[in-house]
Structure 1
Amino acid sequence: MTVDRSIAPAFQIPDQIDFPKPLQRTLKNGVHLYFIPTPEIGAVKLEILADSPAMLGKQEKKLLAYFTLHMLMEGTQSKSSAFLDDFFDTYATEVEVLSTFEHQGLSLLTTKKHFHTVLPVFRELLTEATFPEKELAKRKSQKALSLSIMKEKTGHRASQLFRQELFGDQHTYGQIADEQDIAKIKRADLVRFYEKQLWTNVEIFLTGNLQDEDLEWIDRILGDLPVKEKKEMPNHFSNSNHMRIVEDRENALQSSIRIGCHLLPKSHPDYFGFWVFNVFLGGYFGSRLIKNIREDKGHTYGIYSSIGSLKTSDYWVVMADVIKENREEVIDEIYKEISKLQDELISEEELETVRNYLVGNLLSNFSSAFELISRFKSVHQAGLDLDFYKKQLEYIKTFEAAQIQEIGRKYLSKTQMVEVIVG
């Protein structure tokens, strides 16, 4: 039988998706390790993550965690920064800083062949960093220059002001660092944070072609890591009436816009509904905002809406850089598109287009073991498991226009929006 390749195969939504659950081990020091074996891949990725000061209810100097983490590669008690750079390059290994609002740590990406060689050296970064004064001064100078440059970028500044208004300027998430904050950082601060607080409530996420004996060896290397356990103090935020924040720049050709609010957590029954509402509005390249403000009016190259992830409550934001003269019209059109989704039922054609997009996008997020462990980590840190994605697929298959309309009405009110314009 000859296949007619001029006809695309019919799109089929899978009945269900089954994920291999990570294997969980507990190291000698009580640290939980989550492992997904990848027999077909010759790479190994290990991430070690701890709670940020904000998750522990602690107030620290601004940028303290940033400098501590970025100084770990500047030398250990037995190895110089030059040696470390050359060593990891020689063994085709990448070491990267991991940092979010709620977690911080390091990742190691290497080959299975070299894993046993590089992990002991990686281990030294976790407990034997020396934070040389000369390198710290250089890092501070570089960061000050970076802040000065980024301050001139309207998009960066708009995001800063949005976070500050959304979370409050007294909260870590809303604080804006400047050159004075950099000057306040001392080597003693880094040493104290490194020794007393950095490795608190640690978890390890691992993928690779590894066997039981490899996991036992990891326990020998990392099982004596001196970690701390402290009760988390998750942050709870709520919406209130906000004033618009405008920072005009006479010479700017465009304005950066941020509009958003606090949202419900991933564990909430309405989460999937709002997630779908967001996709219709501005969550993919065929969204309402793209078609209206980019394609029809030509006011911007890109505009999108997204959901930021936090443990107790996510947040939602629309982001765009637009021609300065059209910024008020763009903001009006954003609210018009929100209102349309709240007041008018979505057509069957658009409904099915987005449904098919969501299925394809969801499945593409699990095309490799590295992505699987990343998705697991995302829901695990929110107190959930991989069943979250099974429920997400089921919602995608069954949601109706009226559900999306109702959820949009329920959670998006103009009076609760943070509005920021810079430029």
Structure 2
Amino acid sequence: MTQPPLIIPSAVEVAQAEKTVLANGSALYTLASDDFEVLRITFVFRAGSAVQQVPFSASTAANMLSEGTRDMTAHQIAERLDYYGSYYDVNIDRDYAYISFCTLSKFFDQTLAVARQVLLCPTFPEEELRTYCNKRKQRLAVERTKVDVEAREAFARALFGPEHPYGISAPEDAYDTLTRADVAAFYETHYTAENGFVVCSGRIGDYERQAVAALAEQLPRRKSAAETPFPAPVTQHEAFVEHPGAVQSSIRIGRLLFPRQHPDFLGMQVVASALGGYFGSRLMQNLREEHGYTYGVVAAMVNFEREGYFAVAAQVGTEVTREALREIYAEIERMRTGPLPDEEFALVKNIMIGEMMRILDGPFGIADVTIENILCGRDHTVINENIGRIRAMTPADIQHLAQKYLAREDLVTVVAGAQRP
């Protein structure tokens, strides 16, 4: 039986979002699609943990928006959304908070009424705040007993420094001193028209567009807080977190590089994909298939607003930690000393472009890509630019990038486990 040839698409058609600048200076982006009777409204605010002055105030403000408003209790909000089959989701990262409402088209008005309460009228009730903080403190304490969490936090500290906004890890006891005033102040400062935008996708007509615009125009205009300059990262090349009795070690290897706007970011994504971006990648074949050191290992480029980094992550048995590290270094060095075979390179490129196509399948996926492109200062023309760049790359290009950025002396290595490797 003959395998069909791999065909890498040369382009993909993606409709550009329609942008409307609202009266309060906020921006509304719409992606209309009549294929499904659903729509999603996502409000994006530059309100991530990197801009907070009080530990946990950013995540608490985002997660407590629906815990009581001027006219609705938390129970009423949850009951109303559940009754109409609507979906409410909050995501927060180092840089941004993403507040999304997904609804059937026929229940648009009812869902938007709840969205108006959540976004414009949160009260952050004291009783709910204390319950939230106690639960989060306990959850964080439990999470920090796991070697993968210890390694992840230690890796961020090693890359950026323990005082850097991207590297800091606040103690769980900081939840005890977090006040309602802290949370309300963060909300009032960062959930403003100037500090965010809205993306609406799905079945959107003139009525829905105008209604979402009317809601977004109610976001207050306030003078943004003075931006605190980011300190320069302070990188530590090796760190070990001792975890007595652990049966596994959690490994992080990588280095600080650059955010998505850098011309070499895409090429380093190809490097990361070949190393550990899919099930048959080099690291998976080595650590899992050949040696049985781990169930899984991944490599990726990670993008923040102001920084970006390359990372390899794996959990391995304590007794094979040193051997696993040696094999990871060896696979990275193999990327540097020889080009990818043509067949392997074609597979990597096909997987990457195929993943881009998968993400763009449907209005909500397109909305996610739209948000990412807005945050990077681009539009959807970058999609076909990236496809073209991936198609044009050669094995020599990828080897050159690995040589340039993945020298052994530049790598940061973090291990959390029972014994130092």
Range class of TM-score, shorter chain: over 0.9
The residue aligned with 2:135 is 142
- Contact 2:276–2:297 (CA<8 Å) still a contact in 1? yes
Corresponding residue to 2:15 among 16, 20, 25: 20
**Are positions 1:293 and 2:280 aligned together?**
no
2:388 corresponds to? 394
What is the CA distance between 1:67 and its match in structure 2? 1.3
CA deviation after TM superposition for structure 1 residue 263, in Å? 1.6
Number of the residue aligned with 2:400? 406
Q: Aligned residue pairs: how many?
A: 415
Q: 1:28–1:219: 8 Å Cα contact kept in structure 2? A: no
Q: If the length of structure 1 is used for normalisation, what is the TM-score?
A: 0.93
- Note the C-alpha offset of 1:358: 2.3
What secondary structure, in the 3-state scheme, does the structure 2 residue paired with 1:19 have? coil
Partner residue in 2 for 1:192:
185
Partner AA of 1:46 in structure 2: I
CA deviation vs aligned residue, 1:1-43 (integer Å, no higher than 9, x gap): xxxxx76654432232221101111222111111111111111
* Displacement of 1:357: 2.0
- Equivalent pairs: percent with the same residue? 28
Give the RMSD, CA atoms, in angstroms. 2.0
Are residues 261 and 228 of structure 1, via their aligned partners in 2, closer, same or farther at CA, if it must alter by over 3 Å?
farther
Deviation of 1:377 (Å): 1.3
Residues 248 and 364 (structure 1 numbering): CA distance in 2 closer, same or farther, change over 3 Å?
Answer: same
* Residues 390/175 of structure 1: CA separation in 2 closer, same or farther (3 Å cut): same
Query: Secondary structure, in 3 states, of the residue corresponding to 1:206?
Result: strand
Out of 40, 54, 60, the residue aligned to residue 53 of structure 2 is 60
CA displacement at 1:182 relative to structure 2: 0.6
1:39 aligns with 2:34: yes
Does 2:95 align with 1:97? no
TM-score using structure 2 length: 0.93
Letter in 2 for 1:14: P
The structure-2 alpha-carbon separation of the partners of 1:145 and 1:284, relative to structure 1 and needing over 3 Å to count, comes to same
> Which 4+ stretches in 1 moved above 6 angstroms?
231-234
- Classify 1:105/1:62 alpha carbon distance in 2 versus 1 (closer, same or farther; 3 Å): same
Residue 402 of structure 1 and its aligned partner are, at CA, apart by 0.7
Equivalent residue, structure 2, for 1:264 = 258
Q: Which moved more, 1:376-385 or 1:325-334?
A: 376-385
User: Which letter does structure 1 place at the counterpart of 2:68?
Assistant: G
Q: State whether structure 2 residue 321 is matched by structure 1 residue 327.
A: yes
1:157 to 150, 154, 157: 150
Aligned to 1:365: 359
TM superposition shift of 1:54: 6.2
For residue 74 of structure 1, what is the aligned residue in structure 2? 67
Match of residue 83, structure 1, among 52, 58, 76? 76
AA of the residue aligned to 2:246: A
SS in 2 for 1:172: coil
CA contact (8 A) 2:30 2:209 kept: no
Task: Give the equivalent residue in structure 1 for 2:165.
Answer: 172
Task: Name the CA distance, whole Å, in 2 between partners of 1:254 and 1:54.
Answer: 30
Measure how far apart 1:417 and its partner are. Answer: 2.2
Deviation at 1:53, TM superposition (A): 5.9
| CA–CA separation in structure 2 for the residues paired with 1:127 and 1:85 | 17
Q: 1:157 to 1:195 in 2, by over 3 A?
A: same
- Provide the C-alpha distance between the structure 2 equivalents of 1:188 and 1:238, rounded to a whole number of angstroms: 31
Contact 1:29 1:226 in 2 (8 A): yes
Cα contact 2:31–2:363 (8 A) shared by 1: yes
Q: Which amino acid aligns with 2:45?
A: A
Q: Distance in 2 between matches of 1:151 and 1:416?
A: 28
Q: Which residue identity does 1:291 align to in structure 2?
A: Q
Counterpart pick for 1:253 among 230, 244, 247: 247
Aligned residue among 120, 129, 132 for 2:125: 132
Report the residue type matching 1:308 in the other structure: V
Are the aligned partners of 2:43 and 2:98 in contact in 1 as well (CA < 8 Å)?
Answer: yes
Q: Which runs of 5+ in 1 are unaligned?
A: 1-5
Alignment partner of 1:173: what SS? Answer: coil
3-state SS, counterpart of residue 240 of structure 2: strand
Question: Structure 2: which amino acid aligns with 1:416?
Answer: D
One-letter identity of the residue aligned with 1:256: S
> Within 5 A, what are the aligned runs for 1:166-245?
166-199=159-192, 201-228=195-222, 230=224, 235=230, 240=235, 242-245=236-239
Distance in 2 of aligned mates of 1:251 and 1:344: 40
Q: How far apart are residue 236 of structure 1 and its match?
A: 7.7
Structure 2: runs of 5+ lacking an equivalent: none
Secondary structure of the 2:339 match is coil
Equivalent position of 2:344 in the other structure: 350
Work out whether residues 202 and 227 of structure 1, in 8 Å CA contact, stay in contact via their aligned partners in 2. no
Assess, with a 3 A threshold, how the Cα gap between structure 1 residues 378 and 232 changes in structure 2: closer, same or farther. farther
Instruction: Give the superposition deviation at 1:340.
Output: 0.7
**TM superposition shift of 1:318:** 0.6
The residue aligned with 2:413 is: 419
**Paired letter, 1:45:** R
Give the counterpart of 1:338 among 332, 336, 349: 332
Pairwise CA distance, 1:275: 1.3
CA contact (8 A) 1:102 1:310 kept: yes
Q: What letter is aligned with 2:38?
A: A
**Residue pair 1:237, 1:313 contacting (<8 A) in 2 also:** no
Q: Hey, what's the Cα distance between the residues in 2 that align with 1:306 and 1:254?
A: 22
> Relative to structure 1, is the Cα distance of residues 229 and 104 closer, same or farther in structure 2, using a 3 angstrom cutoff?
farther
1:3 maps to which residue? Answer: none
1:77 is paired with a residue of what secondary structure? Answer: coil
Which amino acid is 1:52 matched to? Answer: A
CA distance in 1, matches of 2:228, 2:375: 14
Using the TM superposition, give the Cα deviation of residue 149 of structure 1 relative to its aligned residue in structure 2, in angstroms: 0.7
